Structure 1
């Protein structure tokens, strides 16, 4: 009776011991026990017919019923016809299917999502009858009891108590719960306190405010059309062009009423735009579900659910599919460093710190007011790694850009003395996070050799993009935050002062090949009062746009993969806000149209010229002139792998043109102009520059041959070498 009291009071930890069909205590016969609060009558029917087995007898508080099971009835299965006054409906009782409830599919840490959450399942009653439903599983080892609540049981935590076999996972198979059903978990802490209703950590769909309810999804039937992309040969991505367009789907383009485009509308518009602009990849800011629009997705609750703001899971898959069919890779921002404190989320999940570090000196992010995953717990590691694998496996994502890696690596990140706990050696490195990161990257590259990971890491931590067997962290790439900070600091200065800061421009080449770098001008550089890229540029209107064209060119010609946030290619005037669209109307103005045209042209040049693609080897770069600070000019060569092919790049960061600038060249021959950011087609001054130059045997810049060239004001030019005939 104690167990039944626990069931009645919604605190039962083992409902299968007292509900359903059980042997009598005397060992003779069996009794069926059903708990349906407030039911006025319950009849037991055959599982496969309308025949009535018997009427149940009320035996306790209203809703507790029992029936002596007929001894001549060979089956263990049944249905229940339940009456609430004049209303009657029929269900299949879940407590007759312990085998389905406790059956765990085989899984590894990378596929934990196939074991927990809401998963389609079925119970075999006979050779001719199978009962379909949903099997729920949730990890809550410290809970006293857990129940599934949803629109299928009136959100009543007394009706569907779950059961655990001691491994910390609570399970229940509920027949006839179909795709589209909404649910949460009602958890009672060990001390008996009822906690706020929790969203399923493994939910693959979640409703928006105010319910934040998890949604049961149908088994995957999406038919991918990207076989040519996913079966392509595994290539050396370090020697391939990678020009990334970073996008916030909610604000790239909006409708006239201010609403965002759907996944389907992005499929029609964004894909075509990327093709036109010649980008190789798109990076989507976090698309996993998040309760607060203003977090841009970086405070997610629902790591397994593409946000329903823009459509369904299949519609998101169709967007990825269309991008692949257009030969565009898809990178997704991924956030394993922290999670928000919203009451329906992971914080204090089962009344204890199951997902976060218990000590706030390790478990609380002071910079973002969020909780930090406990990287020392196996279930947390499995949860995060299975999530990474989920996006690569189920959504064909090509790359994960891992957010806030530095905050994971250092225990004292954004903390003052006394606010952090040293590691076992007294240092500030988080050994548990480092172990997790290495295991993450090993899992990704082992299971998905065409995919890659990117670290947003802003410190000098060694070996971020080195393999784990070389004692590195194992990322494929690292954002070059040093290049970004130095180059933006330089370009924001008035040209008259740049001669004193030439080192800001050239220092990046000292360490350019220490890691596999991506050069990022991301959303972080155009928010929170930093202004848009065009507003960072000094001078009058013409100089601002010339500066931006020169800087964009310098970025594309500098070794490293490229990343630009949406709007940079338009010379967006206003600082970015997630609440409004990009200012597409600016393309009616020549200067803005020219910046877009420059970006498109540079993307095309990057993709077509092998000399610009060897981004991660010193053999792909050669300084020609880095110390002409008097003129604020730099010149270098980019070189192709395995051939003499190369391109010379000259960037003038002042408004002063040069008509006869002598420059040494790597070899003799002809140099053809292939790019000029000052071209009139780019709204430049049109300063006359020869289309081709022949070297002369005169020493310059330590080389036995040179060219005398014209250098336009505030501009970059690129010259491609061809041997003399």
Structure 2
């Protein structure tokens, strides 16, 4: 019950705030409203100034008293004297309504001195813990703290439905030289839509901007950020985290299923993509059942344009709302872990789109990007390039890498388009790029960023992996930083992919003239820790599906694909296969529709699916096929030069004591009987895999009873055996264990 209603100012409101300042507040032109609004000591008095546009009267409620505030000449500005410097609430009224609320200008700063120091230095590794929109409680009042970096702005406001998108109402506090602006808005909570209204130099009004560190976003085509709570720690990952380091080492079997979440499978007759929770059941069960060790997701960061597949992100800190909330995305990752699957996220630090609500000219200047398009614009993608040399921008990106690994439990990052980052002249004609400070073409700042990102992520988050999509011969991509490398754990082997796909697409009659395309990769195959990628890029934009690439007709097409996958799974290097390729989808991938799961009603497609499942099992269970994927001692040619018959044969070795396996491939439609194959040990050798098995859709030709190696030197080995090589096929042999006496 009120003790009484007092008049606010004994000297009148006009004497409590200069008219010019009141007018600047009302016009939204005041760059430091916290110096005026809220309670301030003036001598022995406590002066309160508030700005409530549309209110006819405003009352301060403090310690049971009602203190009427007087209007100032400027519309919406009220002032008066408080009895004491203590918490208060405000009551506003007009002809239509009366409402009580907490004044955001009575709350002090949230960011501490250490935060301010690290932000200014560009070394705050966990940027998401201080920037963005974070629900919290201040002085017993629940609300949301907003903070954003905009160093060249004259003023920054938070706007949303809560203030009728009026940038005058919630102007933020500038935090010294850091360029960060912040404000705590009481009464807000998760689910609120917001943007930043920024006035640039000279008062220029910019398009409303989404939050660069926002944890959520509206569903496209809407573009506001959404206040979201981060997932709670302690998600049930089973025992995955304790085993992760060993399961992601260069000695582990790593077979990755690359997925675009929006088109893997769709619900409601193809009208709706699956939610994160639906994917946690269906996708996770499927990938685990197929024997893959990891799921790699095309970018899940929020992006405005569906056709970019996520590769033009604007919300780097927001899992796309297309499939659900941050908590639900974390549940998907945890579900994968419980099934023994790692989750790798596609990460895009190479460029960002020009959409006006995004990072481009964020505070009216080239802030995240370069001012000169010769350094800061990708003509291929019509996108902007980050200014990697600016410490705050590098901090933004490195912190984002840590964010996905720490907050969502991601097990790795695949970094997109690394080649475009490494070279200033990437896809540019002469005169369209600027050399580095040494006069060269390398982007020294991007190199430094990638090295620091890898050093920090590997150092801060045990057991993770990073992989680079890098298509040039840049040296040491997966070498340690202290040895001059970029520090990635793995590199995509784009050369292997291009050469071998070129070979397998040729009519078998011409393959003998291109025999080296299948062997060339071994000349550099151990210079990096390679992943062999058959990714989304190979089945889109007119390239056709994997089965469509195969020459011949009918059964021959499937036999070719079975042989190619067998070559891939027995070749040194970790494996990556894009969704749909594992059952030989006929149509080229399209992001707006589901995979053609109905094709599994046909035996040949089921055969390819079974083959990939068995190759994954064999790869995981056979140390010789994975332990030395990245070391030369794991591979030995038996036959690399039989071009006339398009036959390749090799041994794969594991650790000392691991049984080696012998692989032979025939890439012609001619069956080879009596083919002599060198073997490293005498005795019986069993055929443990045959891509021509009827179970896979083949003709069941081969060596079902196994073969016996005899003392007839061949292929550089002391023993050999005659084997049958079915047409367009691969066979794998392993020495039989001695019979028990």
TM-score scaled to structure 2, two decimals? 0.94
In 1: Cα distance, 2:384 partner to 2:660 partner: 50
**Which residue pairs with 2:181 in the alignment?**
170
Aligned: 1:19 with 2:37: yes
Identify unmatched segments of 5+ residues in structure 2.
1-17
In 1: Cα distance, 2:229 partner to 2:114 partner: 19
In 2: Cα distance, 1:268 partner to 1:76 partner: 53
Contact 1:689–1:712 (8 Å) recurs in 2: no
The partner residue of 1:294 within 307, 318, 322 is 307
- Counterparts in 2 of 1:248 and 1:175: CA distance versus 1, 3 Å: same
1:173-184 correspondence runs (5 A): 173-184=184-195
Aligned: 1:123 with 2:114: no
**Which residue pairs with 1:83 in the alignment?**
93
In 2: Cα distance, 1:573 partner to 1:233 partner: 36
The partner residue of 1:245 within 257, 266, 289 is 257
In 2: Cα distance, 1:662 partner to 1:227 partner: 49
Q: Report deviation, 1:605.
A: 0.3
**Which residue pairs with 2:589 in the alignment?**
576
Aligned: 1:161 with 2:171: yes
Q: Report deviation, 1:220.
A: 4.0
The partner residue of 2:125 within 107, 110, 132 is 110
Contact 2:198–2:206 (8 Å) recurs in 1: yes
Aligned: 1:633 with 2:647: yes
In 2: Cα distance, 1:234 partner to 1:415 partner: 40
**Which residue pairs with 1:489 in the alignment?**
502
**Which residue pairs with 1:148 in the alignment?**
158
The partner residue of 1:228 within 218, 239, 242 is 239
- Counterparts in 2 of 1:286 and 1:485: CA distance versus 1, 3 Å: same
Q: Report deviation, 1:104.
A: 6.7
**Which residue pairs with 1:683 in the alignment?**
697
The partner residue of 2:387 within 352, 374, 391 is 374
Other structure's SS at 1:98 match = coil
In 2: Cα distance, 1:623 partner to 1:60 partner: 89
Other structure's SS at 1:231 match = helix
**Which residue pairs with 2:466 in the alignment?**
453
Aligned: 1:542 with 2:555: yes
The partner residue of 2:145 within 123, 132, 135 is 135
In 2: Cα distance, 1:526 partner to 1:688 partner: 32
In 2: Cα distance, 1:278 partner to 1:307 partner: 27
In 1: Cα distance, 2:339 partner to 2:206 partner: 48
Contact 2:258–2:295 (8 Å) recurs in 1: yes
Other structure's SS at 1:32 match = strand
Other structure's SS at 1:611 match = helix
- Counterparts in 2 of 1:415 and 1:597: CA distance versus 1, 3 Å: same
RMSD: 1.5
Other structure's SS at 2:40 match = strand
**Which residue pairs with 1:647 in the alignment?**
661
Aligned: 1:349 with 2:362: yes
Q: Report deviation, 1:644.
A: 5.2
Contact 1:246–1:284 (8 Å) recurs in 2: yes
Aligned: 1:312 with 2:312: no
Aligned: 1:437 with 2:455: no
Q: Which moved more, 1:73-82 or 1:283-292?
A: 73-82
Q: Report deviation, 1:28.
A: 4.7
Contact 1:100–1:122 (8 Å) recurs in 2: no
Q: Report deviation, 1:134.
A: 1.3
Q: Which moved more, 1:195-204 or 1:223-232?
A: 223-232
**Which residue pairs with 2:207 in the alignment?**
196
- Counterparts in 2 of 1:102 and 1:513: CA distance versus 1, 3 Å: closer
Other structure's SS at 1:191 match = helix
Q: Report deviation, 1:354.
A: 0.8
**Which residue pairs with 2:620 in the alignment?**
607
In 2: Cα distance, 1:451 partner to 1:220 partner: 20
Identify unmatched segments of 5+ residues in structure 1.
125-129
Contact 1:690–1:709 (8 Å) recurs in 2: no
**Which residue pairs with 1:703 in the alignment?**
717
Q: Which moved more, 1:631-640 or 1:234-243?
A: 234-243
The partner residue of 1:673 within 687, 696, 717 is 687
In 2: Cα distance, 1:607 partner to 1:709 partner: 26
Per-residue deviation, residues 580-608 of structure 1 (Å, max 9, x unmatched): 10000000011101000000000000011
In 1: Cα distance, 2:233 partner to 2:490 partner: 31
In 2: Cα distance, 1:512 partner to 1:146 partner: 53
- Counterparts in 2 of 1:304 and 1:583: CA distance versus 1, 3 Å: same
In 2: Cα distance, 1:553 partner to 1:119 partner: 50
Per-residue deviation, residues 644-680 of structure 1 (Å, max 9, x unmatched): 5100000100000011001111222321100000001
Other structure's SS at 2:552 match = coil
Contact 2:61–2:91 (8 Å) recurs in 1: yes
Other structure's SS at 2:163 match = coil
- Counterparts in 2 of 1:308 and 1:706: CA distance versus 1, 3 Å: same
In 1: Cα distance, 2:67 partner to 2:111 partner: 26
- Counterparts in 2 of 1:511 and 1:302: CA distance versus 1, 3 Å: same
Per-residue deviation, residues 126-145 of structure 1 (Å, max 9, x unmatched): xxxx1221111100000011
**Which residue pairs with 2:12 in the alignment?**
none
Per-residue deviation, residues 304-331 of structure 1 (Å, max 9, x unmatched): 1000001111111111000000000000
- Counterparts in 2 of 1:338 and 1:643: CA distance versus 1, 3 Å: same
**Which residue pairs with 1:44 in the alignment?**
60
**Which residue pairs with 2:735 in the alignment?**
721
In 1: Cα distance, 2:231 partner to 2:552 partner: 56
In 2: Cα distance, 1:84 partner to 1:333 partner: 52
Q: Report deviation, 1:227.
A: 4.6
- Counterparts in 2 of 1:601 and 1:287: CA distance versus 1, 3 Å: same
Contact 1:101–1:172 (8 Å) recurs in 2: no
Contact 1:101–1:173 (8 Å) recurs in 2: no
Per-residue deviation, residues 164-216 of structure 1 (Å, max 9, x unmatched): 13220001111121111111100000121110110011100111234311111
Other structure's SS at 2:497 match = helix
In 1: Cα distance, 2:229 partner to 2:725 partner: 62
In 2: Cα distance, 1:499 partner to 1:520 partner: 24
Contact 1:668–1:723 (8 Å) recurs in 2: no
Aligned: 1:261 with 2:277: no
The partner residue of 2:295 within 282, 290, 295 is 282
Other structure's SS at 1:74 match = coil
